[in-house]
Structure 1
Amino acid sequence: MTVLSDVSDFVGWSGEDQDEVSIHVAGMTISGWQNVSIRIGLEVMPSTAHLAFTEYQPDGQYMLSVDPGMRCQISIGKDLVITGYVSVVETNTDAAGNLMFMEIDSLSIDLIECSAEFATYQMSSTNALAICQQVSRPRGVTVTSTQGAGNTDIQQFSVILSETAYEVMERVCRLAGCIFYDQPDGSVLLSPVGATQASGGFTEGENIEQISTRRSMRGRFSEVRAVIQNPVVLFTPPDGDDYVSQMDAVSAPVNAVATDPGVTRSRPLLIPVELGDADYAVAKQRVQWEVARRYGRSQVIDLICDSWRDKSGKLWTKNTLVPVKRKSWAAAEMWLIAEVEFSRGEDGSRAHVTLMPPETFKPEPILLPMQSNEAVAAANSSVGDAGADRTPVQQEDI
């Protein structure tokens, strides 16, 4: 890409500023923005940026021209943060001149908005990473993995014709037990939760300018129990003993119970055992996941940091474990960066960071499609043997 030095000069860009935000578009490197907001996160896809600047530069006597659809890159200092497209260009004219606003989306915007395209919509004997790569390739997005994420074998997988590529990847990554998110170069990464750890952390009274915490009891349960889905017809209201015996009948064989010690009153939740769950292994994982994830979602820290970088000079990054120390805490606690917004305005540069416990983002344990389909086929076969007048169970692609 050719960089026009005169453009860089009249917008006031200096390579010496490690936190200077620049956009590379249409053969130009533009910086010196009046307002900047760059948002990345584990549940923010695509990564986005909002930039505001003066369209006409009197020093260079130059009118900037940027159109929607142009491919671009955004950097903070020498660090690339977003590769994508100019999605929106807006101009606002007043007595002071023309102010231009640009909205940038990562390359993954096409995975989210466009329908998935495959040579075949029925896949077998493959793994999660390969499926994600196949669905992303037509949109020009590369998919990679780290620490073995996405290596789970998926013997059978069906794509719904109306699905977007993002929806396909979301289902596949649940099967593989991993998460996926944007990378600075525009690719998508499959990863376990908490893949990296920051150098240094957030400390109240040092680099934290403002901090708020939210603790909630909503959506949390004192006990999560897996039960077998057997219909029970009650012709008369059962007394207490009868109810307990019926509950034991549908839950005791599974022996999958998890408790949340933080919920002091009785708040039970029953979840069904999936058909084909041999030895109830997935059900036992699922009850633990329900408790852990619901606890994680109920604990949130939002803070404003006075720097965009950790002690090693690395930008704060999503899916990074980081120690947080408050004055009221006896020791630092390890939290996961869920979202970061790098902002710059009249009050200077700030990093708005959202943190949650790591277990918040662990994918839900579910059966692989082949296991489920085999169980359904067995159920259909047994129903057919019982009599020709019985209606077989309908199989549904996952």
Structure 2
Amino acid sequence: MSKTDPNALKVTIDNHELTGWQHYSYHAGIDLIPWQISLSATLHQLDNHDLEFTVGASATVMMGETLILTGYLVSTSESINAHGHTMSLIIGSKTQDLTDCSASLVTSDLTLGGNENNGRTLSNMVTQLCAPFGVSVTVDPQIDNPVIPLFAINLTETPYAIIDRLCRQVGLLFTDSAEGNIHITTVQKAAEKTPSFRYGDTIEEYEEQHSTTNRYSVIKAVLQTSNLLSSEPNSADYVSQIKASESGKQATDPGITRYRPLLIPVDLGDANFDVAGKRVLWEVARRSGRSQPITITVSGHRDEHGALYTPNTRVTLTKPNGSRADLVIANVTYEGSANGRRTQLTLLTSASLTPQPIVNKVNQKAGAAAQNDSARH
């Protein structure tokens, strides 16, 4: 009895299964929402090629027996020439509606059911944003579902933008998932079965970048006071005004040896500059990590343990010089064609993937009101 191909691609659109795809390209990532796949085939090789599909139809994609995408048919394209008749499709995750559409909610809609002292849990608020779009929410079991006491939204914001602020406020990530749902998580730690890669062994192609672009020798958080902006440089108290703008929060990048300073504003409502202190450290770590991505291409779509390569997975990499690095899969691309199946992985440091620390928007409004009141007096 022949074994079933564990990486055979099966696409189902409106309950009709399609196989025989000649080429596919699947993209998923920690920072990427929605995940999506593009496929193409000549009609004579595509099963059920006589079926007609309507864009917007529900769709799922399986890799062998593993679900990799749940969403909708985004677009179709037919190409006819002397060489044949080709059908191309793009399928995107259900989460596409969270990035494209307006939430159509006001602050009271999101906070109703809680109170100013106790608030509502993160998953509860995110669920309310996602539910109208048929998107569910899951939370990593290792995370204590945090309570957000106060939160404000803008009427025109997308659900994605609101979820992004909610998660950053409590230091969490949110990603797409194979089920087309939002998953709240953190940068993953090493698992019992951690994939490993070694140049010259499992790696077909290896690329490591190093850049000083968008990196700075020192990053400082400063106050944007109205006096500093309105006083002339020759004012008698100019020096004291400059010193008053300093928050004392700064971080240095040891990889940048020449003088390259960057000033970032302290957000209104940042009591004791706590968020500013976290922000400057985050800026250095993110900029440093993102300037040194490693991209590898490996055969197939599964690791040595039989699991599909997925975003937010810890891996161990042995570089061409023999050094080892503990990295995280940030982006995954599955490519399949007549030339075989390959996976391209973008690997980053865990510190470069953590969310940006921010001040609660309610606190920002309170800070702005306090500043305006102070200016009037």
Calculate the TM-score normalised by the size of structure 1: 0.83
- For residue 88 of structure 2, what is the aligned residue in structure 1? 101
Shift of 1:383: 5.0
Gaps in structure 1 of 5+ consecutive residues: 1-13, 387-398
Q: CA RMSD in A?
A: 2.6
Structure showing greater radius of gyration is 1
Find 1:317's aligned residue among 310, 319, 322: 310
Query: Which AA in structure 2 matches 1:277?
Result: D
Looking at structure 1, the residues matched to 373 and 48 of structure 2 have their Cα atoms a distance apart, in angstroms, of: 79
Shift of 1:161: 2.1
1:201-242: CA deviations, max 9, x gaps? 22101110011111110111111122233333344399xxx9
1:175-197: CA deviations, max 9, x gaps? 22212111111111011123564
After TM superposition, the structure 1 stretch with the greater mean CA deviation from structure 2, 118-127 or 349-358, is: 118-127
Looking at structure 2, the residues matched to 75 and 39 of structure 1 have their Cα atoms a distance apart, in angstroms, of: 14
Do structure 1's residue 162 and structure 2's residue 150 form an aligned pair? Answer: no
Shift of 1:122: 5.9
Looking at structure 2, the residues matched to 300 and 217 of structure 1 have their Cα atoms a distance apart, in angstroms, of: 12
Distance 1:235 1:40, change over 3 A: closer
Distance 1:91 1:302, change over 3 A: same
- For residue 5 of structure 1, what is the aligned residue in structure 2? none
Looking at structure 2, the residues matched to 15 and 129 of structure 1 have their Cα atoms a distance apart, in angstroms, of: 42
Looking at structure 1, the residues matched to 48 and 39 of structure 2 have their Cα atoms a distance apart, in angstroms, of: 21
Find 1:226's aligned residue among 213, 221, 237: 221
Distance 1:62 1:107, change over 3 A: closer
1:86-108: CA deviations, max 9, x gaps? 11111122345422111100111
- For residue 199 of structure 2, what is the aligned residue in structure 1? 204
Distance 1:370 1:148, change over 3 A: farther
Do structure 1's residue 293 and structure 2's residue 312 form an aligned pair? Answer: no
Distance 1:315 1:194, change over 3 A: same
Q: How many residues align?
A: 364
- For residue 174 of structure 1, what is the aligned residue in structure 2? 168
- For residue 211 of structure 2, what is the aligned residue in structure 1? 216
- For residue 31 of structure 1, what is the aligned residue in structure 2? 19
The alignment partner of 1:363 has SS state of coil
- For residue 144 of structure 1, what is the aligned residue in structure 2? 138
Query: Which AA in structure 2 matches 1:297?
Result: R
Distance 1:338 1:286, change over 3 A: same
Query: Which AA in structure 1 matches 2:358?
Result: I
Looking at structure 1, the residues matched to 144 and 219 of structure 2 have their Cα atoms a distance apart, in angstroms, of: 28
Do structure 1's residue 192 and structure 2's residue 186 form an aligned pair? Answer: yes
Looking at structure 2, the residues matched to 155 and 302 of structure 1 have their Cα atoms a distance apart, in angstroms, of: 41
Looking at structure 1, the residues matched to 345 and 27 of structure 2 have their Cα atoms a distance apart, in angstroms, of: 10
Kept in 2, the 8 Å contact 1:155–1:369? The answer is no
Do structure 1's residue 267 and structure 2's residue 260 form an aligned pair? Answer: yes
- For residue 347 of structure 2, what is the aligned residue in structure 1? 355
Looking at structure 2, the residues matched to 194 and 133 of structure 1 have their Cα atoms a distance apart, in angstroms, of: 23
Gaps in structure 2 of 5+ consecutive residues: none
Calculate the TM-score normalised by the size of structure 2: 0.88
Percent identity between matched residues is 32
- For residue 81 of structure 1, what is the aligned residue in structure 2? 68
Query: Which AA in structure 2 matches 1:47?
Result: W
